[in-house]
């Protein structure tokens, strides 16, 4: 279908590329220990981008009945489109990466249900509500362009998520965890989810007063989002072009602590975001973004690369509708080249909550979840968030859960002095990371206004 579409568009446009995809999903959900929903969905779509008169137009459809209408709409969009000197890649051999596993593609609804019930049983306890969801998906992708690039691959994904909610008076406690990979979750993985949730739930039953001041704070892999999100935005070539990235112009400079490295790697076997080729025909490659605290690369798709007068790094993503966008695949945080990034699920039971970083802390916090991550001017690095799930650490031990507290700081300043990196590295979705200890995080008790108190405590950045 891609070849026929491109053959037709060659007669009407200067250049073009196209992507076809099909996704089939099967999902079930348990609520309060009972099966609530089960269903199957399927989506197929085609996205076409044309270049005509130096301008770019995009059209998409989920009901492809032939090339003519789609080409006409894309050409009409190009008449009003932006002028971009896109350089479509030519044919290049693609790397091999395992993205599809037959035992995921062929798993039955009955087997998904059995696994869901088994996880519910592992998590049931008096006074708590258990919710479990499982989703299996199979996808096919085919793409090409008029410069000769072609690519196609099949992928699978399985997601198993669970949460336990406990309500005691006005205290609402929810602890969750999940498994996400291209290959099937084993019984060991289900045990790991249950142990992770139960361990953290037990530690959270005792509520203690939060500390205050400039303190050491451990961010677990699930609690790191507020710290990593500004970096993800700042390392995008789009942010550099917009003039809003604090890291612009700092390639080759040591901006962060030498313990910090970030890699985007679409070639990790068995991950849901892995792929041999991006959605614009650029072969996938492992890309160091920060290495030993030194900024190395920004990510680009074809359009941002053209505007920046550089080359795409293979980070183009596209759906059925709209133009491609720049985005990450598998983001790996840790010591460059020294972490086992292929292990799917390291558990609390194996390495201990906090990854061995708690022992040296006299008084501080361990953050497992924050409220409001992603709101406000994230790329600037300043954050101030109430805690959703956090524990107080005293004399090298967790003494209980804290409520009505907030943490604040500036990511770019805090990452200049990393106090330690844990041994609990694990995948959470498309991100692999260990726990990280940061010194000098502002911790305040939330009184009349948690967000205002935290915001006053957040320092400004200076790179």
Q: What average pLDDT does the structure give for the chain?
A: 92
Domain end position, chosen among 139, 168, 199: 199
120 and 223 assigned to the same domain: no
- For residue 462, being part of any structural domain is answered with no
Of residues 373, 463, 354, 341, the one with CA closest to residue 419: 354
Dihedral sign, CA of 7, 12, 17, 21? negative
Q: What is the pLDDT of residue 375?
A: 86
Domain end position, chosen among 142, 164, 199: 199
Domain end position, chosen among 182, 199, 216: 199
Domain containing residue 29: CATH number: 3.30.2290.10
Q: What is the pLDDT of residue 383?
A: 95
Provide the domain limits for residue 108: 2-199
12 and 135 assigned to the same domain: yes
What's the CA gap between 246 and 230, in Å, rounded? 9
194 and 212 assigned to the same domain: no
pLDDT digits 0-9 by tens, 374-403: 887 899 999 999 999 999 999 999 999 999
What's the CA gap between 232 and 352, in Å, rounded? 28
pLDDT digits 0-9 by tens, 280-330: 999 999 999 999 999 999 999 999 999 999 999 999 999 999 999 999 999
pLDDT digits 0-9 by tens, 155-198: 999 999 999 999 999 999 999 999 999 999 999 999 999 999 99
pLDDT digits 0-9 by tens, 111-164: 999 999 999 999 999 999 999 999 999 999 999 999 999 999 999 999 999 999
191 and 332 assigned to the same domain: no
- For residue 50, being part of any structural domain is answered with yes
34 and 163 assigned to the same domain: yes
- For residue 96, being part of any structural domain is answered with yes
How open is the CA angle 353-357-361, to the nearest 5 degrees?
115
Q: Is 44 helix (H, G, I), strand (E, B) or coil?
A: strand
Around 199, how many Cα atoms within 13 Å sit in the side-chain half-sphere? 17
State the total domains in the chain.
2
């Amino acid at each position: 279908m891609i070849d026929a579409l491109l053959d037709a568009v060659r007669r009407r446009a200067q250049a073009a590329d196209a992507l076809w995809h099909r996704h089939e999903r099967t999902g079930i959900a348990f609520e309060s220990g009972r099966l609530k929903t089960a269903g199957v969905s399927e989506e197929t779509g085609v996205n076409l981008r044309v270049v005509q008169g130096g301008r770019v137009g995009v059209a998409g459809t989920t009901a492809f009945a032939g090339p003519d209408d789609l080409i006409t709409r894309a050409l009409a969009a190009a008449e009003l489109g932006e002028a971009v000197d896109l350089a479509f890649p030519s044919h290049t051999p693609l790397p091999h990466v395992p993205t599809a596993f037959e035992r995921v593609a062929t798993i039955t609804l009955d087997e998904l249900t059995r696994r869901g019930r088994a996880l519910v049983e592992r998590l049931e306890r008096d006074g708590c509500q258990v919710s479990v969801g499982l989703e299996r998906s199979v996808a096919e992708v085919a793409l090409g362009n008029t410069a000769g690039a072609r690519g196609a691959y099949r992928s699978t994904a399985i997601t198993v998520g669970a949460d336990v909610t406990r309500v005691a008076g006005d205290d609402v406690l929810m602890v969750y965890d999940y498994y996400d990979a291209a290959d099937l979750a084993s019984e060991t993985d289900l045990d790991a989810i249950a142990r992770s949730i139960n361990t953290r739930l037990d530690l959270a039953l005792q509520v203690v007063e939060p500390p205050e001041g400039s303190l050491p704070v451990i961010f677990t892999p699930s609690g790191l989002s507020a710290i990593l999100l500004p970096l993800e935005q700042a390392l995008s070539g789009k942010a550099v072009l917009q003039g809003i990235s604090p890291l612009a112009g700092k390639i080759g400079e040591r901006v962060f602590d030498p313990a910090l490295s970030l890699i985007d790697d679409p070639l990790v076997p068995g991950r849901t975001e892995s792929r041999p080729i991006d959605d614009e025909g650029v072969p996938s490659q492992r890309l160091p973004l920060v290495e030993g605290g030194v900024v190395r690369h920004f990510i680009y798709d074809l359009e941002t690369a053209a505007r920046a007068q550089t080359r795409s790094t293979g980070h183009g993503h596209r759906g059925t509708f709209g133009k491609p966008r720049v985005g990450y695949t598998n983001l790996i945080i840790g010591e460059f080249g020294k972490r086992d990034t292929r292990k799917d699920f390291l558990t609390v039971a194996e390495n201990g909550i906090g990854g061995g970083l708690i022992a040296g802390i006299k008084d501080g916090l361990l953050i497992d979840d924050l409220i409001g991550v992603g709101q406000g001017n994230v790329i600037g690095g300043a954050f101030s968030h109430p805690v959703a799930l956090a524990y107080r650490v005293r004399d090298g031990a967790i003494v209980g859960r804290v409520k009505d507290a907030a943490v604040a700081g500036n990511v770019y300043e805090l990452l200049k002095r990393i106090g330690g990196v844990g041994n609990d590295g694990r995948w959470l979705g498309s991100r692999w990371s260990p726990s990280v200890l940061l010194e000098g995080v502002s911790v305040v008790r939330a009184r009349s206004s948690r967000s205002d108190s935290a915001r006053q405590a957040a320092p400004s950045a200076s790179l």
